[in-house]
Amino acid sequence: MFLKYFYDKSLAHASYMVGCQRSGEAIVIDPSRSVDQYLEAATAEGLRIVGAAETHIHADFVSGSRELADRVGAKLYLSDEGPADWKYLFADKHDSQLVKHGTVIRVGQVKLEVLHTPGHTPEHISYLLTDQGGGANMPMGIFTGDFVFVGSIGRPDLLETAAGVVGSAETGARQLYHSMRKFRELSDHLQVWPAHGAGSACGKGLGAIPSSTVGYEKLFNPALQFHDEQKFVDYILVDQPETPFYFTVMKRVNKVGPELVRNLPPVKDPAPDLLPTITRKGMTIDVTPSSEFSVAHVPGTINVPLNMLVQWAGFLVNYDQPLHLIARPSDLPEILQRLQSIGIDNVCGSFDASAVSAAGLRTESYRSLPPKQLRNSIERGEVKLLDVRAETEFHEGHIAGAEHHFLGKLLREMETIDRSRPVVAQCQAGGRSGIATSILQRAGFDVTNMLGGFQAWVEARLPVTREHSTSP
C-alpha cells in the first residue's frame, strides 16, 4: 500500500492519496482544486488515480473531485447520508457512487469502509482504511475529514452561521456528541488522518501535528472528555472562530459542482492608465507587502499581502463582482491558484506592479507608528482605536478604550464607525491591521496603523485590560 499526505498551509487543508502498488491504482481523499500535485505524485509512484472520495460538502475550499473526474476519469465517491438539502447535485455528470454507512470501496487491495459521522454536517462520513495486501486483515486508520482533528473536533455550527439554517447548530452539536461515542468504540491503535490542521476555521484549538491515534485522542482531546450531552453542547458551541463569509459560497459551489479550471476565462493585462477608473468602480487588491504599500500605493486599493491572501480574501471579496489585482506577473499563476482554491474565479484583470509604479500611480501613503508614540492620543481620546483581531483574542486582553471590529467584518461595519476622530488600527502583531488600514483609508478615514500591534504594546509594558474567557 502507498499513502501520501498533502498539505495546503494557506488553508490548513490536508488531503491524502492511497494506492495499491500491486494493482497500480490510487484514490484521493478530500482533494483540493489544485490536482496537479496528485497527478505528479501518482506518476512518480507508477500509479493511476481511479477515484476521489469526499468526506462531506466542504465549506472552506473548492473540492478537486470534479476536477479529477474531468482530468483522468476518476470515479467519485460521495456521501448519500443526511437530508435531501445536502446532496451532491453534480453526481450524475460523472462516473460516481453515492455511499452510505457500511459501504465498502476497494482500490486494488486497499479497502475503505464508510462510517456515517454526522455533526459537523449531516452528510459527513469517515473512511476506515484496511490494507488487505499487508498481511493483517484489520483496519489500520481512519480518514476523519472534519469530524475528529488532532486535539479537537469539527464545529457543528457552520450550517447555521454559513448557510443560514436556523437551529442547526444545536442539532449538529447533539449529532456530533453521538458520533463521538461511536469514535470511542474504535480500536486505540487506529491512526487518525484529519482534513485540517492548526489555523483552520472548521474547529477550535486544532493541533499542528498532522496525525494522531484514536487512543491518544480518547485520552487528550478536550472534546472527547465529555460524557454528558448537554455539557458537551455548551462547550462546543462557544469560542468558535469567526465564520468566513465565503463559507456560504463554498457550500453552494461544492454542492452544485465547481466550475472546471479549464473553463475559466483568461485574466487580462490592462494598461496602467485604466487603473484609477477601475479602482473607483470596483475592488482592486494590491498584494504588495504592507511595508511597501504603506509608503506608496494607488488610492482606493486594498492591500492584502500575498502570504495572507487566501486567509482574508474570502472575507473581503464580493464573488458576484469583477475583481482586479496589482501584482508581479511572475506571481500571478500562484495568486490565481490560491484565489481559485476558495472559489474566487472572478479575477478580470491584473495590473503589472512595476508598470503601476512606473506610471506614477502610487500617490498615497499612510502613517505607521509604534505604541509609545500613540499611547497619549489613545488615552486622551484624541483618536479612536480599532482592534481588528478575533473576538476571542480581544476578550483575552486588549487596550483600554479599544473598539472591537473584526477584520473580516470591517467592510460590512464601516457605517457604524465614528468618523469624528482620526482612527488607529491595531491587531496582534501588525499584519491584519495593515489590511484594515488600507480598507479604512479607502473609505475616507484618517487612519494610522499601529506598528507591532497588541504584542508591541504589551512588550512596551503599557496597560492592558483583561476579561474573563467566554469558555465554560
pLDDT in tens, 109-136: 999 999 999 999 999 999 999 999 877 7
Length of the chain: 472
Q: Containing domain of residue 448, as a range?
A: 367-459
- Please give the model's pTM, rounded to 2 decimal places: 0.91
- The bridge status of strand 447-450 relative to strand 367-369 is parallel
In the three-class reduction of DSSP (H, G, I as helix; E, B as strand; rest coil), residue 118 is classed as coil
Nearest 5 degrees, angle CA 452-CA 454-CA 458?
Answer: 100
Q: What is the mean pLDDT of residues 70-74?
A: 97
- Let me know whether 180 and 121 are in one domain: yes
Domain shared by 273 and 399, yes or no: no
Asked if 309 and 416 sit in the same domain, the reply is no
Cell numbers 488600527 correspond to: 425
Mean pLDDT of 27-44: 98
- For residue 32, list its beta bridge partners: 63
Same domain, 268 and 240: no
Tell whether 309 and 392 lie within a shared domain: no
- Domain endpoint, select from 325, 358, 391: 358
Domain CATH number, residue 390: 3.40.250.10
> In whole angstroms, what is the distance from residue 30 CA to residue 53 CA?
6
Residues 260 and 67: beta-carbon distance below 8 Å: yes
Nearest CA to 56 out of 155, 130, 141 is that of: 155
Core vs surface per residue 64-93: b (16+ CB within 10 A) or e: bbbbbbbbeebbbbbbbbbeeebbbebbee
Q: Are 251 and 286 in the same domain?
A: no
Give the domain-ending residue among 358, 377, 402: 358
Give the confidence band of 460 by pLDDT, cuts at 50, 70, 90: very high
| Cβ contact 290:303 at 8 Å | yes
Q: 275 with 322, same domain?
A: yes
- The CATH number for 217's domain is 3.60.15.10
Residue 162 has pLDDT above 90, yes or no: no
Asked if residue 148 belongs to a domain, the reply is: yes
Q: Are residues 141 and 248 in the same domain?
A: yes
Residue 373 lies in a domain: yes
Same-domain pairing of 378 and 275:
no
| 467: pLDDT strictly greater than 90 | no
Residue 112 lies in a domain: yes
CB 419 within 8 A of CB 402: no
Q: Does residue 238 belong to any structural domain of this protein?
A: yes
List, as one string, the DSSP characters of 8-19: ETTTTEEEEEEE
| For residue 164, pLDDT beyond 80 | no
Residue 425 has pLDDT above 90, yes or no: yes
Q: How many domains does the chain have?
A: 3
Instruction: For residue 448, give the DSSP letter.
Output: E
Q: Are residues 343 and 387 located together in one domain of the fold?
A: no
Last residue of a domain, one of 199, 233, 256: 256
Q: Do the bridges between strand 110-116 and strand 125-131 make them parallel or antiparallel, or are there none, so unpaired?
A: antiparallel
Q: Report helix angle 309-316 to 332-341, nearest 10.
A: 60
469 band by pLDDT with thresholds 50, 70 and 90: very low
Range with lowest mean pLDDT among 125-134, 152-161, 275-284, 403-412:
152-161
Residue 314 belongs to some domain of the structure: yes
